[in-house]
Structure 1
Amino acid sequence: MRWTLPLLLALAPLAAAQATPEASLSVTLLSGKNSNTTSYNSKDNDWRRVQALRQGNQPLLYVRRGGTGYVIRDPAVIAKAEAIMKPQRDLGARQGALGAQQGELGRQQGALGSRQARLGGAMAGRGARGAEALAAQMRELGRQQAALGERQAALGDRQAALGDQQSRLAAQARPKFEALVAEAIRRGLAQRLN
């Protein structure tokens, strides 16, 4: 399962705030046990490089720091990286579930809209008496549509709050990643690639 999109969306403001290429940090974590992939400020060429470096289902942490790539295969470092990313992964799962609810509401709204269109067509072909009964049905469908719209708006508010929380988690994760990578490089656990 890929958790790339929620994490990238949450980290985009941090990436934009970086002043120099030397200050950039990109992280891609491949967890071997369940093929989870988490990317932090990564680019397409990082992903291609990670795929080339992968050895079967072995976990891998790829880091690009200031233009220099590193691969880390040490289980303890990878476990720490997973722990840093866990709150964002968990929140990403909540965002995904909320998105599924929003999708279902959208499907229901679409079905109601189709029914309203059919009723509108039927109303156009009827006289005043027949149209009056159909107009009552149309008002009921409109009421249902409004109720679904209110639920959709509430879910949108919850999604926005989760997005704000994701941004805060990203801001908290960045210095932890910087420290983890610096420690791995210092201890010789990060293989320099370029």
Structure 2
Amino acid sequence: MTLSPTSAPRMLRGLALGLLAAAVTLPALLPTTTAVAAERTRERVAYVLFHAGERGSMMSGDTDDLRRARAQRAGTEALLYVRSGGSHYVIREAATLRAAERIFAPQRDLGARQGALGKRQGALGAQQAELSMRQAEIGMRQARAAVSLASTGAARPDVNEREQRALEQKQEALGRQQDMLSREQDALSREQTRIAAQTDRELRALIEEAVRSGAARRIG
């Protein structure tokens, strides 16, 4: 096809306008990162579980979930607040709360194990810090001994060196224990991922049943 001198500019302008329209329309058709993140948040089940007579709670959610749950609680009653699929529910029915307790039991157990492991890691860290301080003190004593040796020519005692080697061996032993605890922590983290997925599935099923039976009251 042969283009006339006047038709070519018109075609170029038309092509440019078409590309501009596509550039404006395409972002509107594609989901934004914020929208995708919001959708994923809505897909997750958030909950706040209050035990009877206790002020604390067991939860997985954000501060808004905790605020909503506290607003629904009367005194220190047992209560389960759930956000699922953009809806909010409150459950006070005893049988459903007992079922929720069973669902959350593995998480409580895992949390206790992680807490105990954290204490052991903290104790090892304190021992390592103490050994490091003692090694630093020995280093200072060795430096002073070296200065004295240079000025007097006296024989250099090897007591400090033996003590330093003993401390280094203890430090290495503590390091091996710390490595072992780190591996335990990694294993618990993997277990936490598995338990979280299991809890989510079982909690969804519990909420669906509670909604069908009327045990769950929708609040928003």
| Fold conserved between structures, TM > 0.5 | yes
Does residue 174 of structure 2 align to residue 154 of structure 1?
A: no
Correspondent of 1:126 among 145, 149, 156: 145
Does residue 134 of structure 2 align to residue 115 of structure 1?
A: yes
CA pair 131-33 structure 1, distance change in 2 beyond 3 A: farther
Please tell me the residue identity of whatever aligns with 2:143.
A
Query: Once the 2 structures are TM-superposed, how far is the Cα of residue 34 of structure 1 from its aligned partner?
Result: 4.8
Question: What's the CA shift string for 1:59-114, capped at 9, x where partnerless?
Answer: 11010112221111111111111100101211211111111111111111111111
Residue aligning to 2:67: 48
Q: Which runs of 5 or more structure 1 residues have no equivalent in the other structure?
A: 1-15
Conserved? CA contact 1:18–1:24, under 8 Å: no
Residue aligning to 1:191: 217
Task: Output the aligned Cα RMSD.
Answer: 2.1
Which structure has the higher relative contact order (CA within 8 Å, separation 6+)?
1
Please tell me the residue identity of whatever aligns with 2:57.
T
Residue aligning to 1:69: 88
Please tell me the residue identity of whatever aligns with 2:192.
Q
- What SS does structure 2 have at the residue aligned with 1:157? helix
Query: Once the 2 structures are TM-superposed, how far is the Cα of residue 39 of structure 1 from its aligned partner?
Result: 1.4
Does residue 36 of structure 2 align to residue 25 of structure 1?
A: no
Q: What is the 5 A alignment of 1:74-85?
A: 74-85=93-104
- What SS does structure 2 have at the residue aligned with 1:38? strand
CA pair 22-109 structure 1, distance change in 2 beyond 3 A: closer
Correspondent of 2:208 among 166, 170, 182: 182
- What SS does structure 1 have at the residue aligned with 2:158? helix
Q: TM-score, with normalisation over the residues of structure 1?
A: 0.83
Q: Quick one: distance in 1 between partners of 2:157 and 2:87?
A: 71
Q: Quick one: distance in 2 between partners of 1:163 and 1:72?
A: 30
Residue aligning to 2:194: 168
Whichever of the two has the greater Rg, that structure is 2
Query: Once the 2 structures are TM-superposed, how far is the Cα of residue 24 of structure 1 from its aligned partner?
Result: 2.6
Q: TM-score, with normalisation over the residues of structure 2?
A: 0.74
Question: What's the CA shift string for 1:20-67, capped at 9, x where partnerless?
Answer: 454231111111155552213x00111122222221221110101122
Does residue 163 of structure 2 align to residue 137 of structure 1?
A: yes
Q: Quick one: distance in 2 between partners of 1:172 and 1:112?
A: 43
CA pair 120-74 structure 1, distance change in 2 beyond 3 A: same
Correspondent of 1:37 among 45, 57, 61: 57
Q: Quick one: distance in 1 between partners of 2:156 and 2:59?
A: 59
Q: Which runs of 5 or more structure 2 residues have no equivalent in the other structure?
A: 1-35, 150-154
CA pair 122-24 structure 1, distance change in 2 beyond 3 A: same
Identity of aligned residues (%): 40
